[in-house]
Amino acid sequence: MQQEEFILELDGIKKTFNVGEPNEAEVLHGIHMTLKRGEFCAIVGPSGSGKSTLLNIVGLLDRPTQGSLRIVGQETVQLEDAALTRLRGHTIGFVFQYHHLINAFTALENVMMPMLADRGFPSEDIQQQAQYLLDSVGLTPWLNSPAARLSGGQQQRVAIARALAMKPALILADEPTGNLDTQSARIVFDLLRNISTKQGMSVLFVTHNELLAKNCDRTLEVIDGMIK
């Protein structure tokens, strides 16, 4: 029951950079945390406190130096790169501060990419799913617009639609509103909040915006590599 309850379980996660070198630095000093299915959790803290490092480890983009990391009940620390990639692709969606859309593609094609990469070949249902996701973030009129021609807010909404493409259990949003004006930031936040509520996706939402953090289910503060 517990494995189904928690999407994310971190136990004593430590991260040290430049191990064995004179400039060795421990950035995370033993993080313990859990995240329930459907929970919308804000992570706050000053710059350089280790928020992004924590998110990279949770997103399986980086490996912890020590500790245990379970995602949807699966221990990940010992997994090979290929298995981590597969697990990441199927379980985690990313939204970064910068949208990181691929400019060579349109909005629709960007959202299709994770599904295409997973299945290898395009199909009608992949396109329909991408259209549905873009519709749900209010971008139907811009389906075929090149990614580079969209506004900042629109690009971030395409990035959210792309993060949702594989129906992940966990969304990791690393300051997704950091580059947006107040109105666009609110739209993006509400979008994530609604999706989390409707689809039961867990969200880790890194932000410096206290107002947005207060609207989350829970707020964790990372200071000097520890959760306070």
For other proteins, the binding residues (CB under 8 A) are 56, 59, 61-62, 81-82, 85-86, 88-90, 93-94, 96, 100, 102-105, 108-109, 112-114, 116-124, 127, 162, 165-166
Which of 81/214 has CB closer to other proteins?
81
**Residue 88 or 157 with smaller CB distance to other proteins:** 88
Dist CA 5 CA 47 (whole Å) = 31
Cα–Cα dist 172/4, whole Å: 19
Please state the closest distance from residue 215 (CB atom) to other proteins, in A: 26
Tokens of 192: 């994530």
CB of 103 to other proteins, least distance (A): 7
CA 221 to CA 200: how far, in whole Å?
Answer: 23
Residue 96 Cβ, how far from other proteins at the closest point, in Å?
7
Distance of closest approach, residue 122 Cβ to other proteins, in angstroms: 4
- Structure tokens given for 55: 């998110």
Cβ atoms of residues 43 and 212 within 8 Å: no
Nearer to other proteins, 178 or 217 (CB): 178
Count Cβ atoms within 10 A of the Cβ of residue 38 and give its class: 0-12 exposed, 13-18 middle, 19 or more buried. Answer: middle
Q: Which of helix, strand or coil describes residue 129?
A: helix
Nearer to other proteins, 88 or 191 (CB): 88
CB nearer to other proteins: pick between 44 and 130: 130
Q: Kindly state the smallest distance separating residue 146's Cβ from other proteins, in Å.
A: 10
| Alpha carbons 162 and 154: distance in angstroms, whole number | 12
Name which of 114 and 213 has its Cβ closer to other proteins: 114
Alpha carbons 58 and 45: distance in angstroms, whole number: 17
Question: CB of 159: closest distance to other proteins in angstroms?
Answer: 9
Amino acid at 164: L
